[in-house]
Structure 1
Amino acid sequence: MKRDLVRSGMSLVFARDLVSKELTSHGIMFSGSELTSAFVGLLKTSYATALRDRAEWLSEEFGAASDEELQDFMSANVGKWGAEFDRISALQDLQL
């Protein structure tokens, strides 16, 4: 189900020229187009604002990192995140 939603979402942003993709020796690379910033600027919900804040933080923290540095970071931390997601799922499953 999630794969279909991601595929549909990606098709939509490609159809609207909001994202471009490039085939490289490292795989498929996705990037925003000239229209992306303008579109994101139109989103005004609290969710969109929070998402924008997280994207800005992500860019500041990792924007200059190489692919290898990102891979190393992910490899070192993904186990920790898995445990956090498990706790969140368990809390959501509680019926109070």
Structure 2
Amino acid sequence: MSRKLVERTAEKTGIVYRAGEMADVFLSTLTSEYMSLLQLRAQWVAEAFGDMSDDEFRNIMRENFDKWVEQFHVIEKSSAGSET
């Protein structure tokens, strides 16, 4: 926060963190393949969910959370099974 990368605000729903005024400048200096893919995914999230209200977004998370947890457990089990 001291570098203006993140802004923190208190709202009715709790503490909210947002990109600060220097976040875009900082992120543009990162050039790894991972960072490029992360930026693409962040853009997709913003486009897919950016116009939703907090309640709409929470409902989607609730509807899908169990499915996602189950998928991660499958990945963990298959990774654990490959260890020797």
TM-score of the alignment, normalized to the shorter chain, above 0.5 = yes
Q: Does 1:22 align with 2:14?
A: no
Which residues in structure 2 correspond to 1:1-80 (within 5 Å)?
Answer: 14-80=1-67
Q: How many residues align?
A: 83
Q: CA deviation at 1:16?
A: 2.0
Between the aligned residues of both structures, percent identity stands at 30
1:87 to 74, 79, 82: 74
Q: CA deviation at 1:90?
A: 1.4
Distance across 1 between alignment mates of 2:79 and 2:36: 24
Which has the bigger relative contact order, CA under 8 A and spacing at least 6? 2
Length-normalised TM-score, structure 1 = 0.81
Root mean square deviation of aligned Cα:
1.1
Matched to 2:77, the amino acid is A
Distance across 1 between alignment mates of 2:20 and 2:34: 22
Distance across 2 between alignment mates of 1:70 and 1:28: 16
Q: CA deviation at 1:69?
A: 0.3
Unaligned runs of 5+ in 2: none
Length-normalised TM-score, structure 2 = 0.92
Distance across 2 between alignment mates of 1:16 and 1:74: 31
Larger % of helix: which?
Answer: 1
